[in-house]
Structure 1
Amino acid sequence: MWSTNLFFVLLTYFHLNLLYVVVSSVDAPFIHIPGNGFISGTYLKMFRTQNIKAYLGIRYAHAARFSPPDVELPPWKGIFNATSFAPSCWQAPQAASESPQLDKVLEIISGGMSSEASERKYDENCLNLNVFVPDGLPEVDGYAVIVWIHSGNFSAGSPYDIEPFQMVFKQKVIVVTFSYRLNIFGFFSTDDGEAQGNYGLMDQSAALYWVKKNINYFGGDENRITLMGHDAGAVSAALHMTSGEWSKGAFHKVIIMSGNPLTYVRMPHEYNADLDRIAIIFGCARRPTSMLVQCLRRVDPKIITENLPLVNWGPIVDYGLSNTSYPFIENQPEILFRNGAFHNVPVIIGITDMEEVLTIFKDYISSELTADDLSNFFNDMAMGDIQKTTGSNEWCMNFPLIADAIAFMYSGQTSDEKLTVNTNVINAHTEKFYITPIQMFIDILSKHQTIYTYNFKFRSPSLIVDLPSWVGVPKYFDQIFVWGIPYMNNVVEWKSTDKKIADIVMTLWANFAKTSNPTKSNVYIKWNTVEPPKYSVLLIDENFNSEYLSNNHRVMFWNNLYPKLLQFASECCNSTISAATYPITPTIFLYISMLFICIQI
């Protein structure tokens, strides 16, 4: 029985012009997982002397469509061949991002795998994970473990969007990547409980518990599991902190990269219009929803994927939607965190200094916006926030109050801060949607736990040759250094500084996974924990200095004054008195005075 699994052929292929050899042979280690059986792994080798062990495509759960995952799996027959990736979860083929710079970085991060996206295989029964293990004997207690949740806005992505080889090889930690159900398969929900939703998050929880239960057989330490995610993966990681019984005890630290931990989670009824469109497209009865669910379960997943309308799929508040399983998200994340309803673990949280710059500017990255463009940007931001607050899409005459306040905060410039319109736009977006919620998150958690925060500002000359000088570090560019990519390929002409930054960042992240202290060993960086009121932030660049969020008066505006101005303007809109004749009260004078005081701080 064993002989059929002991001899395989050598598989050799190129990743970005670097010889990368995958070897399955008699030397490949076997792992016995009680209750499941034996699995055979493979060696990943580089430069002949560098190698790690990999166990790929391991089933961690089974899931019927629009149902929670089932973690009770039957034993394998014979030895499970874990030497290749399993098919990805169903998703629409990724289109170009409209940014050649971003597409290039994504390809580099994945080790060239993204260029083969058109050749990828997809399967609905896709709940598989991959375990990357250092070669050699682990520490007495086992290797620390990093469980990675991929990005992709809950509608796309794959566990092999990143290449973890160097993190595993250099830092001697286990990295686990996994697939979870995406888009309609992972987040379909009806307001009446026929479909609970959040199945993708439940899959993530099932993967975490598989790791907790079995990682010791791979030489891992089940008591040192770090949950790490980027973008949608970062939001997921934060949601696991508030998931109640779902992920309780399954992880011990969290790293949140480029994601808003207090992001607004949609309510089930917000998908009603989308479900109307979906029912029409697939010829299903819309009511009762039990018939809609049954109808969609019969449609081939490929047909669903190819014909699905554009929907903003993602997590929902699912409290009260199921009588058979716990809710995954009982309330909005900010409320849960403020109420203390979260798993209290150490956290690293941070961003790049221009997260969405390539998305916001797209094809206009080399163009200079005008003052009118800036005004329109602030007007749209103000109107959107008022409509969210009032719950109405009707025109509000008081939105100029909000737009003018934003413009005021981003028009005052000191002599050493000659900001362009472009940088004002991206600074406003970054500070409102990333830095401000991070500060609110820190305010809540720092009372209970150790928090470290960073701002990734290393503008690698190897990566930004095609970007204007005003562009800082966009989203995803930091992952180049988290995963040690400058040691992985030679398509980019990496500088010694790139490798130095990669070494430091990998060490900081691995130290945190091992000890909860990112500067514990092998790195000479001072990284203070975050404590109000100063909010120390590590600047990751050539110098690794610190700054304080409290010095940024614009963040103070977004966090303290802006919600009050927004509430005031919204109340005016809901008043029966016309906005044009609304009386000026002492309250508005107070808010205007606060605005001028804020700008002076």
Structure 2
Amino acid sequence: MNYQLFLCILVSSIAAQQVSSPQGTLKGLFKKSEWGRQFEAYLGIPYAKPPVEELRFKSPVPFGKWEGVRSAVKEGPVCLQESVWNSENSDEMGEEDCLYLNVYTPSSAKPKKYPVMVFIHGGGFEGGTGNQMLYEPDYLLDRDIVLVTMNYRLGALGFASTEDVELPGNFGLKDQSLALKWVKENIAAFGGNPDSATKFGQSAGGASVHYHMISPLSQGLFQRGIPISGTAHCPWAISAPGVIAKRTRKLASLVGCPAEPSALLVECMRHIPAYLLITLKTEFLEWNMDPVIVFTPVIEPDGVKDAFLKADPHTTPTKLPAMVGFTSEDSAFRIAMFMSGPKGLQYYLDDLNDNFDDLAPISLLYGQTASNPDQISTEIRKFYFGDKNITKQVVPDLLNMYTDCYFSQCSFSFVRHHKGPAPVYLYLFAHRSEYSSSFKQSNSTEYMGVNHGDDLNYLFPMRAAVDRTKGLSVADKNMREEMLTLYTNFATFGNPTPQQTENYRDRPKTKVVKWTPSSASNMEYYHIEGGKTKMDKKPIDRRAQFWKGLQW
């Protein structure tokens, strides 16, 4: 390890005081924020018993209490997944025993009760972690909040389902709900206010936030939600009835288990090595990286006593205050993956051009839901490409197509399905950064826009996901302060731009444009861009109306 880096870690991570929570006593670390503010970190706190052996494919069981002082200076393992960020040459990373969370709190927290922000990581319900390898707390802990991050079961271990009482599914979401309950019961000991919790997440984490806003298991456990680039209305966030059961039975057959009946399938798969259950995604792919997510949340059947999701999220309104939005080129990762794939961008463009009616229902995820997928394909192609062939010249239109289908239309749908007096703040993040993750994903220096997750760079210093070979520009530093102000204001006041705000004397004062709520009758959104932030309605209003009118 680089000596200076080691010294920095040593200096910024010093044993902290003990915290006595209802679960037990913990000893953590003192750390330093981006602006040199001291905070405390309590890492690797178990919130559920290890979901192994007989607890595999079951709802999580609370970890319970411990005696004595538990060391909280090391994070728990990431949940088992295919190796996206793994530096070793193996197909999987993580462990099945992974249900741990981390708490970060200002050192001055006691006895003041700060608002709590609970983060759910993304990764398509298949990958990711709440640990510091991706989500360091250094930015957010410059502000007066308590931050909680967590790990939850992924892939088949978290979302396989036979869509019956034997294997109802949604175990990863139930993990998250139990972590929320842990926060409600324990966070006061860390200086947090259990009655002022904001759940925020990105991508699959954003869809998860939406699910918790409508799930009976999570009612009363938090007060506000921020779905970022993902809601439960996104086509990748839920599957048509029967789809996940079919994939689960196929997985069982692939690992040598009976596909029927469900009880025998579950019993057999509980004894299969866990890594085999999460490394077979290629067996399910139909084209390129599609379906983008193999095992998704499902609507659970009647008779499940701890059901997380009982009804279609499209028919279940949200009622809590919310911030929801997406980035201007949220699907740049799709183009980046075409570019970095073994066949190259031109191959996939030609394939789409020649076989659009066959491939679009697979890639845009309406093949299993639309009554007339050929008609939908015709309408989509005409809207985005007109009479043009799908070539490199229309890649910006292709990018808009994927962004609208995967992210923007489901953010607008979230607003339309919100009921009650609580406000919804809709945004579009369009700030261009030289640290866009699309560079790393495409192995290219070609800029493709504000990619999926680029907004998180201003909430977390995501060193593993982007290439930071030099420091942040002045524009990016200003954007970081603007984003932190908006998010922590919402967590504190329920309004991202209130008249009152916290005063941080050790950093530049951040001026923000007034953000007004959106509604089904007023889809005006907050356009976030360095030096150009404003309330806006165009240019995506026409695109939003197109997807609203599709019968898919």
TM range (shorter): 0.7 to 0.9
Q: What is the CA–CA distance in structure 2 between the aligned matches of 1:87 and 1:123, rounded to whole Å?
A: 6
Instruction: Go from structure 1 to structure 2 and tell me whether the alpha carbon gap of 1:133 and 1:65 turns closer, same or farther (over 3 Å shift).
Output: same
| Identity, % of aligned positions | 28
The residue aligned with 2:291 is none
Q: Check the 8 A contact 1:455/1:538 in 2, yes or no.
A: yes
| Mapped partners of 2:379, 2:93: distance in 1 | 51
- Quote how far apart the aligned CAs of 1:529 are: 1.1
- Per the alignment, residue 546 of structure 1 pairs with 535
**Equivalence map 1:167-316=2 (5 Å):** 167-244=139-216, 246-264=217-235, 265-266=238-239, 269-306=242-279, 310=283, 312-316=294-298
State the superposition RMSD in angstroms.
Answer: 3.4
Contact 2:44 2:101 in 1 (8 A): yes
Report the counterpart of residue 29 of structure 1 in structure 2.
Answer: 17
What are the residue-to-residue correspondences of 1:393-432 with 2, within 5 Å? 399=374, 401-410=375-384, 420-432=393-405
Q: Structure 1: where are the runs of 5+ without partners?
A: 1-10, 96-113, 414-418, 567-601
Q: d(CA) in 2 for partners of 1:391 and 1:371? A: 26
1:473 to 2:450 alignment: yes
Residue equivalent to 1:589: none
AA at the equivalent of 1:355: D
Task: Tell whether 2:64 aligns with 1:90.
Answer: no
Alpha carbons 1:450, 1:530 under 8 Å: kept: yes
Q: Normalising to structure 1: TM-score of the pair?
A: 0.76
Judged with a 3 Å threshold, the aligned counterparts in structure 2 of structure 1 residues 139 and 496 are, in CA distance, closer, same or farther, namely farther
Give the conservation status (yes or no) of the 8 Å contact 2:338–2:348: no
Note the alpha carbon deviations across 1:134-192, whole angstroms, 9 max, x for none. Answer: 1224574x111111111111111111243333333311211111111111221222233
1:336 is matched with: 316
**Aligned mate of 1:326, from 296, 306, 317:** 306
Q: 1:130: which partner in 2?
A: 102
In the other structure, the counterpart of 2:60 is 69
Distance 1:94 1:54, change over 3 A: same
Which whole-Å deviations, capped at 9, do the CAs of 1:322-374 have from their partners, x for residues lacking one?
A: 2xx2321112211122xxxx4x2111111111111222342438968999777
8 Å contact kept, 2:120–2:201 = yes
Q: Does 1:156 align with 2:109?
A: no
Q: Give the TM-score of the pair, scaled to structure 2.
A: 0.82
Query: Which residue type is aligned with residue 488 of structure 2?
Result: A
Instruction: Kindly indicate whether the alpha-carbon contact (under 8 Å) linking 1:257 and 1:349 is maintained by their aligned counterparts in 2.
Output: yes
Q: Give the secondary-structure state (helix, strand or coil) at the position aligned to 1:166.
A: coil
Which residue of structure 1 lines up, in the alignment, with residue 31 of structure 2? 44
Alignment partners' CA distance in 2, 1:67 and 1:364: 40
Maintained 8 Å contact 2:331/2:406: no
**Aligned partner of residue 412 in structure 2, secondary structure:** helix
- 1:557 equivalenced with 2:546 (yes/no): yes
Residue 502 of structure 1: aligned partner: 480
Within the alignment, does 1:147 sit opposite 2:118 as a pair? yes
Say which SS state the counterpart of residue 225 (structure 1) adopts.
strand
Secondary structure (helix, strand or coil) at the match of 1:29 reads strand
CA distance in 2, matches of 1:306, 1:554: 37
Question: CA deviation digits over 1:206-227, x for unaligned, max 9?
Answer: 0000001110000001111110
Aligned residues: 509
Equivalent position SS for 2:242? helix
Structure 1 counterpart of 2:108, one-letter code: G
Query: Structure 2: where are the runs of 5+ without partners?
Result: 285-293, 504-509
**CA-CA distance at 1:116 after TM superposition:** 7.4
SS in 1 for 2:138: helix
Displacement of 1:403 in angstroms is 4.2
**2:34 touches 2:142 (CA, 8 Å); kept in 1?**
no
Q: Is the 8 A contact 1:181 1:203 kept in 2?
A: yes
Matched, 1:364 2:339: yes
Alignment match, 1:491? 469
Q: Distance in 2 between matches of 1:18 and 1:373?
A: 52
Q: Which has the larger radius of gyration?
A: 1
Aligned partners of 2:125 and 2:142: how far apart in 1? Answer: 31
Quick one: structure 1 residues 316 and 22, their matched pair in 2 at CA, closer, same or farther if it must change by over 3 Å? farther
**3-state SS in 1 of match to 2:454:** coil
Please state how far the C-alpha of 1:467 moved relative to its aligned partner. 4.2
Query: How far apart in 2 are the matches of 1:49 and 1:389?
Result: 52
Q: Distance in 2 between matches of 1:518 and 1:424?
A: 32
Letter in 1 for 2:476: D
